[in-house]
Structure 1
Amino acid sequence: MELEINVVDAFTDAVFSGNPAAVMITDSWLSDELMQSIAAENNLSETAFLVPQEISGYHIRWFSPITEIPFCGHATLASAFVLFDKNPQLNRLDLFAEAVGDFSVSKTDSGQIQMNFPNTKPEKVDTTPDNLLSGLSITPDEVYRNDQAYFVVYKSESDVRSVLCDNASLKQLAPYDVVVTCSSESADYDFVSRYFWPANGGDEDPVTGSIHTGLAPFWAERLGKNDLMAYQASRRGGVLHCSVKGDRVLISGHAAHYLKGRITV
């Protein structure tokens, strides 16, 4: 069986930066085992699989090289990029994912792709897990958590950029991952972050759209503004435009097409 595959760099306007995701659109679901095998073979942060729904829109699922992921932003952006490219007359897509529910993705006047996600603002934890403390080379100033990850807040951008992680320790926090963040010291951005996820995918994720549904409302409250520019300070780097609208968070970004081909399975 031959299947079309696209690889798109998300949250960037140029290839070789942002976060690459594979996108596969099929008429019906492949088996879970086959989707996981394809994601492992692709060895990207995520491979998104999409199937048309009966009425309209698409059902979407995301797989890292090691497990199915409940919620992925950058692979959603990559998927929308592919679908808009295939259907240039469309300006909006309706998507559904089990953990997210119904949500929309649309083109913006600036040429970005905007995703409308639930607000997942984190709450402060009463006790910081020992594995979190031992897993980071710099002691947290504050620690929060939502359903996806622990949020480690630092005072300086140098701490965010230089912190090292011990994967063996952080992996023990499963199913939670870890994001480190601080307000930006650059006039270009409002806040910066890095994302570590040894429990669910790998060492460091280049750009993580889903975690910004928690980061954006967190920083919106602290900075007193609902429209924010974010930078994920991984080696590849990525820029995210965030807007907090009550119980929704709009995450926008550019994307660049890297590869289109066919796989045989």
Structure 2
Amino acid sequence: MKLNIDVVDAFTSTQFGGNSAAVIITNTCLNESLMEAIAAENNLSETAFLVPVETGVYDIRWFSPLTEIAFCGHATLASAFVLFSQNPTFQQVTLSAPAVGSMLINKLDNGYIEMDFPSFTPEAIQDIPEALIAGLSIKPQQVLKNQQAYFAVYNTEHEVRILEQSTEQLKQLAPFDVVVTAPGKKYDFVSRYFWPANGGDEDPVTGSIHTGLAPYWSQRLNKTELKAYQASKRGGELLCEIEGERVKLRGQAVHYLSGSITVDEKQNLS
């Protein structure tokens, strides 16, 4: 069985920046074990698998090299980029996943793709896990949490950039990941994202967590439009807009690879 595959760098305007994701579109859903095996073989932050439901509407699932992920923003951007490239008549597509529902994706004239997501605003917590404090080299000013991750808030961008993390400690927080964030200099806010329990040590750019970061910083800065930067080694820029209980994320993407993979047909029946 031959499957077409594309690899896209998301949340960047230059190749080898942002976060890479693989995109595989099939007419019918693949076996879960096969999707996980392909994602592990790809060894990228995420591999997105899409199945068409009707014209311009697709079901989407995301797999890291370790497990299925409930919500992934950068692989959604990569998927939309591939769909718009393959179907020039598309200016809008809808992607759907159980954890986030229907996601409206628009192709903008300025080279950006806009994704409309639910807001997952974090809430402050009092009982901070010892593994979180032990896993970060700098103690945070405040800790919040949503359904995806712990939010460690700092006073300065410098703290976020120089901070070191302990993979073994942060693994103990599973199934939750950890995002560290602070006000930015050039940007409204900056962040870094650690997810040893679900994918890897540090994720280059994490779209999904900005559905929590953007509402938080919107409240703190009293702004509905924000510019964000994820300060990983590869780095990535996101434009965020708050509209009620929705978060619009805009980003650019760059194509890296088109090809095909071959798997034993029996692998999809086990």
Give me the TM-score of the superposition, normalised by structure 2: 0.96
* Residue 104 of structure 2: aligned partner: 104
Query: What does residue 222 of structure 1 align with?
Result: 220
CA shift for structure 1 position 54: 4.8
The whole-number CA distance in structure 1 between the counterparts of 2:166 and 2:190 is 21
Partner in structure 1 of residue 122 of structure 2: 122
Name 1:173's counterpart in structure 2: 173
Residues 1-265 of structure 1: pairs in structure 2 closer than 5 A = 1-54=1-54, 57-186=57-186, 189-265=187-263
Deviation track 1:54-109 (CA, whole Å, cap 9, x = no partner) reads 57500000000000000000000000000000001111001110100111100113
Give the match's secondary structure for 1:140.
coil
Distance 2:193 2:42 in 1: 21
C-alpha distance in 2 between matches for 1:56 and 1:17: 28
Query: How far has the Cα of 1:14 moved from its partner?
Result: 1.1
* Structure 1 length-normalised TM: 0.98
CA distance in 2, matches of 1:7, 1:56: 21
Residues 231 and 96 of structure 1: CA distance in aligned 2, closer, same or farther (over 3 Å): same
Q: What SS does the aligned partner of 2:50 have?
A: strand
1:65 and 1:56 map into 2 onto residues whose CA distance is 28
**Whole-Å separation in 1 of the counterparts to 2:158 and 2:82:** 36
What secondary structure, in the 3-state scheme, does the structure 1 residue paired with 2:256 have? strand
Report the secondary structure of 1:89's partner residue.
Answer: coil
C-alpha separation between the residues in 1 aligned to 2:257 and 2:109?
26
Q: Secondary structure at the match of 2:28?
A: coil
**Once the two structures are superposed, what CA deviation does each residue of 1:167-216 show, in whole Å capped at 9, x if it has no partner?**
11101101100000000022xx1000000000100000000000000000
2:238 counterpart letter in structure 1: L
What is the SS of the residue equivalent to 1:78? Answer: helix
Counterparts of 1:220 and 1:126, CA distance in 2: 22
State the distance in 1 between where 2:152 and 2:193 align.
10
CA distance, structure 2, for counterparts of residue 67 and residue 99 of structure 1: 15
Aligned length: 263
**Counterpart AA for 1:3:** L
CA contact (8 A) 2:56 2:90 kept: no
**Which sections of structure 2, spanning at least 5 residues, go unmatched?**
264-270
Measured on the aligned residues, the alpha-carbon RMSD in Å equals 0.8
Secondary structure of 2:3's partner? Answer: strand
SS in 2 for 1:22: strand
User: Residue 259 of structure 1: SS of its match in structure 2?
Assistant: strand
Matches of 2:24 and 2:58 in 1, distance apart? 12
For 2:185 and 2:258, locate their aligned partners in 1 and report how far apart those are by CA, in whole Å. 38
TM-superposed CA distance for 1:263, in Å, is: 0.5
- Measure, in 1, the Cα distance between the counterparts of 2:207 and 2:56: 24
Aligned CA distance change for structure 1 residues 231 and 92 (closer, same or farther; 3 Å): same
Runs of 4+ in 1 over 6 A off after TM superposition: none
